Amino acid sequence: MSPAESLLRQLPSVDELLGRPVLAARCRELPRALVADAVREALQVTRAAIERDPRPELVALERLEQLAVEMLERWQQPSLRPVINATGVLLHTNLGRAPLGREAARRVAEAAVTYTTLEYDLEQGRRGRRDQHVAGLLGRLLGAEAALVVNNNAAAVFLVLHTLARDGEVVVSRGELIEIGEGFRIPDIMQASGARLREVGTTNRTRLADYEQAIGPATRLLLRVHHSNFRIVGFTGRPELEELVELGRRTGLPVYEDLGSGALVAPAGLEEPLATASLRAGVSLVSFSGDKLLGGPQAGIVAGRSDLVQRVRRNPLYRALRVDKMTIAALEETLRDYLLGRLDRIPVLQMMHIAPDVLRARAEALVAALEARLGSGLCAFAVVPGQSVVGGGSTPAQTLPTWVVRIRSRRDSAVVLERRLRTLAPPLLPVIVRIEDEQLALDLRTVFVDQQEALLASLVAALQ
């Protein structure tokens, strides 16, 4: 018998392990089947370890028991955890894009745990419509005849194309066939919607005549897409939105603009198309995300001509893409903040407007606190000018001036520290940072003031 075979035979049974005091105690707190699963998994990883390297200590009962306990503890930890975003990327898609305001979050919590008027008309005492809660607000804010909300902007694009252009052609410039990330590609969405792509022009230049020549009996829609995450520079050009609108009017075709981020107010110092401007220019329909520059929950907003919005709503797939009451609660509160001019309640807008001097003072205070806790023997700190990034598919290469805390350790490389910071275990919060010039770079623009103590604790733990 090989050493591995003899060790495998010595492994205890599941029942034997479940009878051990520590695991028996867990069985009184947790479902026995779950504890048994943990034991099976501990045995399985141990078998694999024995095959690789047969060492007698692998089969020790205490070790197996401990392994099962660790599995159980891992299963009890939430997977979706809060983190500190010290990257300075405001709309960080991987970190959940826009954080909601406190009031919006409170409305979500309230809607979550009670019955609500989601689809109930209190006046009439009968069924209402779930979009009524935000449709009026959106109409007022956007100057749109009608609006509706779906799960996200990808769903909005899909639903609009499926409703208005299925089995027909959609004319779009070659310069706008974008990929946003995670496989959201305009040509793929188009294909999935059953609409045929009619590409016109070239990557860098498309003329109005290119659109005109492509229009035929099968054409259903003229599509305009925000470039989002890239920029074309140099010898470039595309028709003004007004020209496209005029062409649509002449040919009786609706013009639909996928705005991507779709700002409701002009963000200071950023060039971002306003949804209101597109609608005022005469675009038939626009769509944009709820959790990009708008600063609300994940959602896709479709707004524009009432007859077209009604058609989109009547599409049976709307039912599959609509939002739940928690999204409506968050979106309603966020939109009401815009309506009432309470923009300081919207975290993304608030963070965008923090003055560089304030960020510098915060960065210097953090460095002073770190030096007080760690001394200056192990790490070197500096506060240097830098750039925050808006992100989230808003026009790229647009940055906001900031001050960055740079940290260099004499013991650990930046790569080691970056990893240590993001893998901190609870109750410490993981910190997500950038590396610049082989140093840690922290931008406090995206760190909430009430997270600053937690940031200090996490940094001290990782740097010590």
Ligand X SMILES: *Cc1c(COP(=O)(O)O)cnc(C)c1O
Give the DSSP per-residue string, 399-455: EEEEEEEEEEESSS-HHHHHHHHHTPPTTSPPEE-EEETTEEEEEGGGS-GGGHHHH
- Name every residue whose Cβ is closer than 8 Å to that of residue 120 and which is 6 or more positions away in sequence: 126, 127, 128
289 binds ligand X (CB under 6 A): yes
Residue placing its CB nearer to ligand X in the complex, 24 or 192: 192
**Contact between residue 442 and residue 433 where contact means Cβ atoms under 8 Å apart:** yes
Tokens of 325: 């009451």
402 binds ligand X (CB under 6 A): no
**Contact between residue 364 and residue 383 where contact means Cβ atoms under 8 Å apart:** yes
Query: Total binding residues for ligand X by CB under 6 A?
Result: 15
- Name every residue whose Cβ is closer than 8 Å to that of residue 156 and which is 6 or more positions away in sequence: 150, 258, 287, 288, 300, 301, 302
**Contact between residue 99 and residue 345 where contact means Cβ atoms under 8 Å apart:** no
273 binds ligand X (CB under 6 A): no
Residue 60: other Cβ atoms inside 10 A: 12
Segment near ligand X (CB under 6 A); pick from 20-28, 222-230, 349-357, 449-457: 222-230
448 binds ligand X (CB under 6 A): no
Which of 328, 318, 283, 324 shows the shortest CA–CA distance to 304?
283
Residue 312 to residue 163: CA distance in whole angstroms: 6
Residue placing its CB nearer to ligand X in the complex, 184 or 448: 184
Question: Shortest distance, CB of residue 209 to ligand X, whole angstroms?
Answer: 25
Of 46, 153, 206, 446, the one binding ligand X by CB under 6 A? 153
Residue placing its CB nearer to ligand X in the complex, 7 or 100: 100
Of 175, 248, 260, 297, the one binding ligand X by CB under 6 A? 260
Residue 203 to residue 216: CA distance in whole angstroms: 22
Q: Which residues make beta-bridge pairs with 200? A: 173
**Contact between residue 147 and residue 288 where contact means Cβ atoms under 8 Å apart:** no
The sheet with strand 89-91 has its strands ordered as 89-91, 379-391, 399-409, 439-443, 434-436
Residue placing its CB nearer to ligand X in the complex, 225 or 421: 225
184 binds ligand X (CB under 6 A): yes
Question: Shortest distance, CB of residue 223 to ligand X, whole angstroms?
Answer: 11
Question: Shortest distance, CB of residue 290 to ligand X, whole angstroms?
Answer: 7
Of 169, 258, 332, 443, the one binding ligand X by CB under 6 A? 258
Question: Shortest distance, CB of residue 400 to ligand X, whole angstroms?
Answer: 19
Residues 335-394 that bind ligand X (CB under 6 A): 393
Tokens of 30: 């947790």
Residue 350 to residue 143: CA distance in whole angstroms: 24
Residue placing its CB nearer to ligand X in the complex, 395 or 458: 395
Question: Shortest distance, CB of residue 330 to ligand X, whole angstroms?
Answer: 14
Segment near ligand X (CB under 6 A); pick from 52-60, 135-143, 151-159, 402-410: 151-159
154 binds ligand X (CB under 6 A): yes
Question: Shortest distance, CB of residue 156 to ligand X, whole angstroms?
Answer: 8
Residue placing its CB nearer to ligand X in the complex, 157 or 433: 157
* Helix, coil or strand: residue 205: strand
Of 267, 296, 300, 391, the one binding ligand X by CB under 6 A? 300
Question: Shortest distance, CB of residue 128 to ligand X, whole angstroms?
Answer: 26
334 binds ligand X (CB under 6 A): no
Lookup result for tokens 């990009």: 292
Segment near ligand X (CB under 6 A); pick from 37-45, 117-125, 254-262, 340-348: 254-262
- Fill in the per-residue mask, 104 to 143: x = in contact with ligand X (CB under 6 A), - = not in contact: ----------------------------------------
Segment near ligand X (CB under 6 A); pick from 135-143, 257-265, 360-368, 449-457: 257-265
Residue 240 to residue 282: CA distance in whole angstroms: 12
152 binds ligand X (CB under 6 A): yes
Tokens of 332: 């309603």
160 binds ligand X (CB under 6 A): no
Segment near ligand X (CB under 6 A); pick from 1-9, 55-63, 245-253, 255-263: 255-263
Residues 223-242 that bind ligand X (CB under 6 A): 225-226, 228
Of 7, 180, 293, 433, the one binding ligand X by CB under 6 A? 180
Residue 219 to residue 172: CA distance in whole angstroms: 11
Q: To 10 degrees, the CA torsion angle through 358, 363, 367, 373? A: 80
- Provide the binding-site residues for ligand X, judged by CB under 6 A: 152-154, 157, 180, 184, 225-226, 228, 258, 260-261, 289, 300, 393
